[in-house]
Protein backbone atom coordinates (compact mmCIF):
# COMPACT_ATOMS: atom_id res chain seq x y z
CA UNK A 1 0.00 0.00 0.00
CA UNK A 2 1.44 3.41 -0.94
CA UNK A 3 2.12 5.85 1.90
CA UNK A 4 -0.60 8.32 2.77
CA UNK A 5 -0.10 11.79 1.30
CA UNK A 6 0.56 14.70 3.64
CA UNK A 7 -0.64 18.31 3.59
CA UNK A 8 0.19 21.51 5.43
CA UNK A 9 -2.88 23.70 5.94
CA UNK A 10 -2.11 27.13 7.37
CA UNK A 11 -4.65 28.84 9.60
CA UNK A 12 -6.31 25.48 10.23
CA UNK A 13 -7.48 25.99 13.79
CA UNK A 14 -10.91 27.30 12.77
CA UNK A 15 -13.16 28.43 9.95
CA UNK A 16 -12.18 27.67 6.37
CA UNK A 17 -8.84 26.16 7.36
CA UNK A 18 -10.45 23.74 9.76
CA UNK A 19 -12.97 22.68 7.11
CA UNK A 20 -10.17 22.10 4.60
CA UNK A 21 -8.17 20.06 7.10
CA UNK A 22 -11.25 17.98 7.94
CA UNK A 23 -12.09 17.21 4.32
CA UNK A 24 -8.48 16.37 3.46
CA UNK A 25 -8.27 14.02 6.44
CA UNK A 26 -11.50 12.37 5.34
CA UNK A 27 -9.75 11.58 2.05
CA UNK A 28 -6.92 9.82 3.89
CA UNK A 29 -4.45 12.71 3.98
CA UNK A 30 -2.24 13.32 7.01
CA UNK A 31 -2.66 16.96 7.96
CA UNK A 32 -0.23 19.40 9.54
CA UNK A 33 -2.57 21.79 11.37
CA UNK A 34 -0.93 25.21 11.52
CA UNK A 35 -2.02 27.93 13.93
CA UNK A 36 -0.68 31.27 15.09
CA UNK A 37 -2.04 31.93 18.59
CA UNK A 38 -4.98 29.67 19.46
CA UNK A 39 -3.37 26.42 20.58
CA UNK A 40 -6.60 25.16 22.16
CA UNK A 41 -8.54 25.53 18.91
CA UNK A 42 -5.76 23.94 16.86
CA UNK A 43 -5.53 21.01 19.27
CA UNK A 44 -9.29 20.52 19.12
CA UNK A 45 -9.22 20.62 15.32
CA UNK A 46 -6.42 18.08 15.17
CA UNK A 47 -8.15 15.74 17.62
CA UNK A 48 -11.38 15.85 15.61
CA UNK A 49 -9.79 14.98 12.26
CA UNK A 50 -10.63 11.59 10.77
CA UNK A 51 -7.75 9.13 10.69
CA UNK A 52 -4.40 9.25 12.45
CA UNK A 53 -0.98 10.82 12.09
CA UNK A 54 -2.07 14.46 12.18
CA UNK A 55 -0.07 17.04 14.14
CA UNK A 56 -0.19 20.66 15.28
CA UNK A 57 2.41 23.30 14.40
CA UNK A 58 2.67 26.93 15.54
CA UNK A 59 4.12 29.87 13.58
CA UNK A 60 3.62 33.57 12.95
CA UNK A 61 3.62 33.67 9.15
CA UNK A 62 4.44 37.36 9.26
CA UNK A 63 7.91 36.48 10.59
CA UNK A 64 10.29 35.00 7.97
CA UNK A 65 12.30 32.95 10.45
CA UNK A 66 9.12 31.33 11.74
CA UNK A 67 8.03 30.40 8.22
CA UNK A 68 11.33 28.63 7.66
CA UNK A 69 11.07 26.89 11.02
CA UNK A 70 7.49 25.80 10.31
CA UNK A 71 8.38 24.14 7.00
CA UNK A 72 11.40 22.42 8.55
CA UNK A 73 9.28 21.10 11.43
CA UNK A 74 6.52 19.80 9.15
CA UNK A 75 8.88 18.02 6.76
CA UNK A 76 10.86 16.57 9.66
CA UNK A 77 7.67 15.13 11.13
CA UNK A 78 5.92 14.03 7.93
CA UNK A 79 8.71 13.45 5.43
CA UNK A 80 7.33 14.19 2.00
CA UNK A 81 4.59 16.85 1.84
CA UNK A 82 2.48 16.68 -1.33
CA UNK A 83 0.04 19.51 -0.61
CA UNK A 84 0.39 23.06 0.70
CA UNK A 85 -2.76 25.09 1.38
CA UNK A 86 -1.96 28.76 2.03
CA UNK A 87 -5.14 29.65 3.92
CA UNK A 88 -4.00 31.85 6.82
CA UNK A 89 -4.54 35.55 6.35
CA UNK A 90 -4.99 38.89 8.05
CA UNK A 91 -7.79 41.43 7.56
CA UNK A 92 -7.71 44.73 9.45
CA UNK A 93 -9.74 47.80 8.42
CA UNK A 94 -7.77 50.94 7.50
CA UNK A 95 -10.10 53.26 5.53
CA UNK A 96 -8.01 55.71 3.51
CA UNK A 97 -9.72 58.91 4.69
CA UNK A 98 -9.73 58.15 8.41
CA UNK A 99 -6.43 56.33 8.95
CA UNK A 100 -3.27 58.09 10.06
CA UNK A 101 -0.13 57.64 7.98
CA UNK A 102 1.52 55.69 10.81
CA UNK A 103 -1.41 53.28 11.10
CA UNK A 104 -1.65 53.04 7.32
CA UNK A 105 1.99 52.00 7.05
CA UNK A 106 1.67 49.55 9.93
CA UNK A 107 -1.39 47.89 8.34
CA UNK A 108 0.32 47.57 4.98
CA UNK A 109 3.47 46.12 6.51
CA UNK A 110 1.65 43.58 8.67
CA UNK A 111 -0.88 42.59 6.01
CA UNK A 112 1.66 42.09 3.24
CA UNK A 113 3.92 40.13 5.58
CA UNK A 114 1.16 37.71 6.57
CA UNK A 115 -0.91 37.53 3.38
CA UNK A 116 1.84 37.65 0.77
CA UNK A 117 5.42 37.26 1.96
CA UNK A 118 4.64 34.37 4.32
CA UNK A 119 2.67 32.39 1.71
CA UNK A 120 5.30 33.23 -0.92
CA UNK A 121 8.08 31.87 1.28
CA UNK A 122 6.10 28.73 2.05
CA UNK A 123 5.31 28.28 -1.63
CA UNK A 124 9.02 28.55 -2.48
CA UNK A 125 10.00 25.97 0.14
CA UNK A 126 7.15 23.68 -0.90
CA UNK A 127 7.92 24.04 -4.62
CA UNK A 128 11.56 23.06 -4.18
CA UNK A 129 10.59 20.15 -1.92
CA UNK A 130 7.82 18.93 -4.24
CA UNK A 131 9.84 19.26 -7.45
CA UNK A 132 12.63 17.18 -5.95
CA UNK A 133 10.12 14.55 -4.82
CA UNK A 134 8.22 14.20 -8.09
CA UNK A 135 5.39 16.70 -7.80
CA UNK A 136 2.72 18.27 -5.63
CA UNK A 137 -0.08 20.79 -5.34
CA UNK A 138 -0.17 24.32 -3.92
CA UNK A 139 -3.53 25.96 -3.21
CA UNK A 140 -3.69 29.67 -2.34
CA UNK A 141 -6.75 31.18 -0.64
CA UNK A 142 -7.35 34.57 -2.22
CA UNK A 143 -10.53 36.68 -2.14
CA UNK A 144 -13.05 38.33 -4.42
CA UNK A 145 -11.55 41.52 -2.98
CA UNK A 146 -8.52 40.90 -5.18
CA UNK A 147 -10.75 41.72 -8.18
CA UNK A 148 -13.39 44.13 -6.92
CA UNK A 149 -11.25 46.02 -4.39
CA UNK A 150 -11.49 46.41 -0.61
CA UNK A 151 -12.32 50.07 0.12
CA UNK A 152 -12.00 49.72 3.91
CA UNK A 153 -8.89 47.49 3.77
CA UNK A 154 -6.87 48.31 0.65
CA UNK A 155 -3.83 46.38 1.84
CA UNK A 156 -5.94 43.23 2.09
CA UNK A 157 -7.23 43.54 -1.48
CA UNK A 158 -3.76 44.34 -2.78
CA UNK A 159 -2.19 41.42 -0.94
CA UNK A 160 -4.72 38.99 -2.40
CA UNK A 161 -4.28 40.36 -5.91
CA UNK A 162 -0.53 39.88 -5.53
CA UNK A 163 -1.09 36.36 -4.22
CA UNK A 164 -3.04 35.57 -7.38
CA UNK A 165 -0.21 36.87 -9.54
CA UNK A 166 2.32 34.90 -7.50
CA UNK A 167 0.32 31.72 -7.99
CA UNK A 168 0.08 32.19 -11.74
CA UNK A 169 3.80 32.94 -12.01
CA UNK A 170 4.58 29.80 -10.04
CA UNK A 171 2.15 27.75 -12.12
CA UNK A 172 4.11 28.63 -15.25
CA UNK A 173 7.48 28.03 -13.63
CA UNK A 174 6.61 24.76 -11.91
CA UNK A 175 4.39 22.95 -14.42
CA UNK A 176 7.34 21.16 -16.07
CA UNK A 177 8.20 19.77 -12.63
CA UNK A 178 4.67 18.43 -11.96
CA UNK A 179 3.99 21.01 -9.25
CA UNK A 180 0.56 22.54 -9.86
CA UNK A 181 -0.72 25.79 -8.37
CA UNK A 182 -4.34 26.88 -7.93
CA UNK A 183 -6.14 29.82 -6.35
CA UNK A 184 -9.56 30.16 -4.74
CA UNK A 185 -11.38 33.48 -4.42
CA UNK A 186 -14.20 33.32 -1.85
CA UNK A 187 -16.42 36.21 -0.86
CA UNK A 188 -18.31 36.30 2.42
CA UNK A 189 -18.09 32.95 4.20
CA UNK A 190 -20.20 31.88 7.17
CA UNK A 191 -17.48 31.57 9.83
CA UNK A 192 -17.09 32.90 13.34
CA UNK A 193 -14.89 35.71 11.98
CA UNK A 194 -17.77 36.92 9.78
CA UNK A 195 -20.56 36.30 12.30
CA UNK A 196 -20.67 39.83 13.75
CA UNK A 197 -20.81 41.40 10.29
CA UNK A 198 -23.53 39.04 9.08
CA UNK A 199 -25.61 39.55 12.23
CA UNK A 200 -25.03 43.32 12.40
CA UNK A 201 -26.48 46.33 10.60
CA UNK A 202 -24.62 45.49 7.37
CA UNK A 203 -26.00 41.94 7.33
CA UNK A 204 -28.99 42.59 5.00
CA UNK A 205 -26.79 44.44 2.49
CA UNK A 206 -24.27 41.59 2.52
CA UNK A 207 -27.02 39.00 2.04
CA UNK A 208 -28.52 41.01 -0.82
CA UNK A 209 -25.29 40.54 -2.78
CA UNK A 210 -25.85 36.77 -2.87
CA UNK A 211 -28.37 35.33 -5.36
CA UNK A 212 -28.24 32.02 -3.48
CA UNK A 213 -30.00 33.77 -0.60
CA UNK A 214 -27.12 32.95 1.75
CA UNK A 215 -23.38 33.39 1.99
CA UNK A 216 -20.91 30.65 1.14
CA UNK A 217 -20.20 27.98 3.75
CA UNK A 218 -16.74 26.98 4.90
CA UNK A 219 -17.43 23.43 3.73
CA UNK A 220 -18.08 24.70 0.20
CA UNK A 221 -14.76 26.52 0.07
CA UNK A 222 -13.10 23.44 1.54
CA UNK A 223 -14.62 21.21 -1.15
CA UNK A 224 -13.11 23.44 -3.84
CA UNK A 225 -9.73 23.47 -2.06
CA UNK A 226 -9.67 19.69 -1.70
CA UNK A 227 -10.58 19.29 -5.38
CA UNK A 228 -7.60 21.46 -6.31
CA UNK A 229 -5.32 19.65 -3.87
CA UNK A 230 -6.23 16.11 -4.89
CA UNK A 231 -8.36 15.89 -8.03
CA UNK A 232 -7.84 18.84 -10.36
CA UNK A 233 -6.24 17.96 -13.71
CA UNK A 234 -2.80 19.40 -14.47
CA UNK A 235 -4.31 21.51 -17.26
CA UNK A 236 -6.06 23.60 -14.58
CA UNK A 237 -2.79 24.79 -13.07
CA UNK A 238 -2.77 28.57 -12.76
CA UNK A 239 -6.56 28.75 -12.46
CA UNK A 240 -8.23 31.02 -9.91
CA UNK A 241 -11.67 29.68 -9.00
CA UNK A 242 -14.43 31.96 -7.76
CA UNK A 243 -16.25 30.48 -4.76
CA UNK A 244 -18.53 33.36 -3.87
CA UNK A 245 -22.05 32.25 -4.82
CA UNK A 246 -22.16 34.64 -7.81
CA UNK A 247 -21.94 37.61 -5.41
CA UNK A 248 -19.21 39.04 -7.63
CA UNK A 249 -18.75 38.07 -11.27
CA UNK A 250 -15.66 38.94 -13.27
CA UNK A 251 -15.13 38.71 -17.00
Q: Write out the catalytic residue numbers.
A: 156
Phi and psi at residue 151, to the nearest 5°? -65, -30
The length of the chain in residues reads 251
Which one-letter DSSP state was computed for residue 246? T
Contact yes or no for 186/240 (Cβ under 8 A) = no
Contact yes or no for 10/31 (Cβ under 8 A) = no
Rounded Cα gap, residues 33 and 113, in angstroms: 20
Burial of 179 (0-12, 13-18, 19+ CB in 10 A): buried
Question: Among 94, 87, 104, which residue's Cα sits nearest to residue 36?
Answer: 87
Question: Among 147, 169, 174, 170, which residue's Cα sits nearest to residue 158?
Answer: 147
Amino acid sequence: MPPRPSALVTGASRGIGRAIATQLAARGVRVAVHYHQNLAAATATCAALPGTGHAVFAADLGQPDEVTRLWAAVTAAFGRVEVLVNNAGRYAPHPPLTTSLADWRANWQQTLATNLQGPADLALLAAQHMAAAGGGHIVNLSSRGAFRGEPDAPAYGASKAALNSLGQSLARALAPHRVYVYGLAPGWVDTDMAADHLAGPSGPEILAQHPLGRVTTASEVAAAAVFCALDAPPAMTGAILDVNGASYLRT
